[in-house]
Amino acid sequence: MIGVAVMGCGVVGCGVVQMLIKNKEEVRRAAGRDVAPLYMLDIRDIAAPEGVKLTRDVNDILADSAVNVVVETIGGVGAAYDFTKRALESGRHVVTSNKELVAARGDELIKLAAGRGVSYLYEASVGGGIPVLHPITRCLRANRLTGVDGIVNGSTNYLLTQMRDQGVSFPAALGEAKRLGYVEADPAADVEGWDARRKLAILANACFGSRFDDDAKIPTAGISGVTEADMEAAAAFGGAVKLITHARLSDSGDSWTGWVHPAFVPAAHPLYGVNDVFNAIIAHGNFVGDVMFYGRGAGREPTASAVVGDIVEIARGVSPAAVPPAGEAPAFSAADAPIRRLARAASDARESLERLGCPVRPCGDGLAFLAPALTRAEFSAACQELNGLSEPLYVLE
Ligand code: HSE
């Protein structure tokens, strides 16, 4: 029997316990033995199903030899880090959906797990219910993976979809989403792009073998500055605004670059049709080409599905430990790479824009235009000549 303790019983933690109970038979068949939730740890007053012990003390869990797997769904890097470390040191496998902890301390925790002959698995940390990290690190491993693009934050994708379809402003869409409970009470990590940035660091580790050092180095802009006029500009060019995570490995393979930014996604791009809380990730391999993973990127049941999938992996002995990156890991480079942008300008800029070769469309009482690929410095210099430029969207190609 595999005994499971769930630490942190919010939306995802409770979903894990529910799935282990509801899908008991499916999980038993997949795992080859019974998998039972034994403990739920939380500082709040919560109700536990019959047969599951409630505790506020991690020592109760660590003292019970029937617990083989600890699920960490506390979130953050405080108690979650401390309890994860103690669980691994005590020889328990740990499964998590906590992208913040993986992005911040992943190398250390993977190494610690490997040293103890146990696993630290985190499939649920990117893309909610979408299987993406295991397929990338197993099925695609023989490829040289050179790029990854994605929509990896469900809340912001939902907000952008509402803004486009209902024609509402960002504050109005956010207010309604809060009222419906679709976003966190404090949505800063989602709307400012930090959640997507952490997931990008995890994807870069899976694709390129980069280390988890400091995801704050990745240039990041969220969606709080996206306006109705940006939506209009994107529509004028036949596309939509999405919060995109983007990473590329350098030709030499010794560095990678990336960003999280609101982007213009043309209708022909496979990420254009990814709406609401859905997520999608496209990885590029030198033999396989583009591979797209699509599904529900957030929510109790999809995320629980990924966590319980990892518990089954452990039960089957498929993943004794996540593999720490071998050899020289590519370093993150914040190089100011050229990129195309979609921006807005006043109507009197038309002549200058056409002279620069920019496709131009009417947008509101001004213009929208597609700039050629320019570095940040080059784009700023070009903007000096054109008064009234908006904060541009990046263009996803
Ligand atoms: N807040 C996250 C999102 C939850 O909206 O994508 C899933 O990681």
Nearest to 260 by CA among 321, 216, 300, 317: 216
Whether pLDDT at 61 is above 80: yes
Question: What is the CATH number for 254?
Answer: 3.30.360.10
Q: How far is the CA of 169 from the centre of ligand 1 (A)?
A: 21
- Dihedral class, residue 178 (left if φ above 0, else alpha if ψ from -120 to 50, else beta): alpha
What's the domain count of the chain? 3
Domain ranges, residue 93: 2-129
> Residues lining ligand 1, CB < 6 A?
128, 153-155, 190, 195, 297-298
Judge if 195 and 232 occupy the same domain: yes
Of 129, 146, 170, the one marking the end of a domain is 129
Per-residue pLDDT tens over the stretch 31-43 = 999 999 999 999 9
Which atom of ligand 1 is found nearest the CA of 153?
6
Nearest to 343 by CA among 237, 193, 259, 210: 237
Judge if 99 and 141 occupy the same domain: no
Per-residue pLDDT tens over the stretch 222-277 = 999 999 999 999 999 999 999 999 999 999 999 999 999 999 999 999 999 999 99
| Whole-structure pTM value | 0.96
Judge if 125 and 269 occupy the same domain: no
**How close are the terminal C-alpha atoms of the chain, in Å?**
49
Judge if 10 and 105 occupy the same domain: yes
Judge if 347 and 207 occupy the same domain: no
Of 271, 290, 309, the one marking the end of a domain is 290
Q: How far is the CA of 307 from the centre of ligand 1 (A)?
A: 15
Of 76, 108, 129, the one marking the end of a domain is 129
Are 131 and 306 in contact by the 8 Å Cβ rule? The answer is yes
Q: How far is the CA of 33 from the centre of ligand 1 (A)?
A: 31
Return the pLDDT at 387.
60
DSSP labels, 82-149: HHHHHHHHTT-EEEE--HHHHHHHHHHHHHHHHHHT--EE-GGGSSTTS--HHIIIIITTTS-EEEEE
User: What's the mean pLDDT when you consider all of the chain?
Assistant: 93
Judge if 274 and 147 occupy the same domain: yes
Nearest to 2 by CA among 308, 303, 243, 322: 308
